[in-house]
Amino acid sequence: MYLDDWIERFALDDQILALSYEQLGDIKRAWLKKLIAHLYNYYGREDCQEKIVSMTYAQGLKSYARVSPWNLLVCVIGRGYRAANKVIAAIMPAIMAGTKEIVVVLEDWGAQDLPDQVLVGLELMGVENILLMDKDDITGFVRETGSNQGLDGLFCLDDKEIVEQFFREKNCVVWAPRPVNLAGLVIDENVEWNLNVLSWANPDLEFVVLADKKGDWPDNFHVFEGSKKDFWLQPFDVVFAPEVYLLEHKHISLGFGPGHESSWVWPELEKKLFFLQQIVWT
C-alpha cells in the first residue's frame, strides 16, 4: 500500500481528537502550547527545503554538497507512554528542521485508553497523521515505507522490540529515548512551583523532594530523608530547581527552573539529525 492507503485505513477518528481537546481543558492546553513555543525558539525554524553548495578547487576538482530535510518520520508511541511533553520534545525538532511528512502511530491503544494530553499535544504541533495499529501492522507499515516510500527516521517511544528489530536492519535512523524515571525537586522559599502541573505533565516520573517541611504532596512525590549533600548525589534523570542550584551542580545533565513544570527536551535530538546530506566530487 501507498502511504495514503495506510493513513486512510488506520487513521484516528477526528471525533476522538475533538473530545480529547475538550476534556483536557484550557489550562493544560496552555501549558502544552507554552512548551511548543519554547521548543520553537530553542531549535529555530528551518525554512530552506534544500541547500546546494558548489565549489571549484585547484587541479580541476569540483564538489557539490546537498542538504535537505528528512522526507518521512514515523514515531511509534507504546501504551505505556502517557507524557505529552516528552512526545512533543521528540517531534518538534523534526518539525523545525522541515521534515516533509510525520506519521505518529499509537501502538495497541484501545479507544478508551487514549491519553488526552498526548493527542492534544500532537494536534497543537500540527501533526495530522495519527494512526492506530497493532504490532504486526506497525512492522508491515515500517517495512513498506522504509523500502519504497522514503522513510528516514523511526522513533519508538516505549517499544524496545521494534527498536531492536529495525535497528538491526539499519534502513533508517532509529531512535528511542533513554529511560527517565527519577526526578529531583528543590523547594525554596523564594520560588513557587505548580505541583499539580508537575504531576500531570510527568506521570512517568517519581519526584524526590528536597524540602524543609512535609506537605500535601501528589501521589508520585515523596520527601527526601537524607542530607542536602546526599540529595544531589542521587541518580536523577532530571532536576526541577531554581536556576542558582542547577548552575551550581554541573553534573546535572537536564534541569528546569520554575515556570517550566511541563517542559522537556531531549538533548541528543539536535536539529542536524533530521537532514540528509549528499557529497559529490567531479
Q: What is the pLDDT of residues 230-278, one digit of tens each?
A: 999 999 999 999 999 999 999 999 999 999 999 999 999 999 999 999 9
Please report, as a single letter, which amino acid is at residue 8. E
Looking at the chain, which runs of residues are DSSP E strands? Answer: 51-56, 62-69, 72-77, 101-107, 129-133, 151-157, 173-175, 182-186, 206-210, 221-223, 238-240, 255-256, 275-281
- What is the structure's pLDDT at 264? 98
pTM value is 0.92
Q: How far is CA 36 from CA 9, 16, 91, 143, 147, in A?
A: 29, 22, 10, 31, 32
Name the percent of the chain lying above pLDDT 70: 95
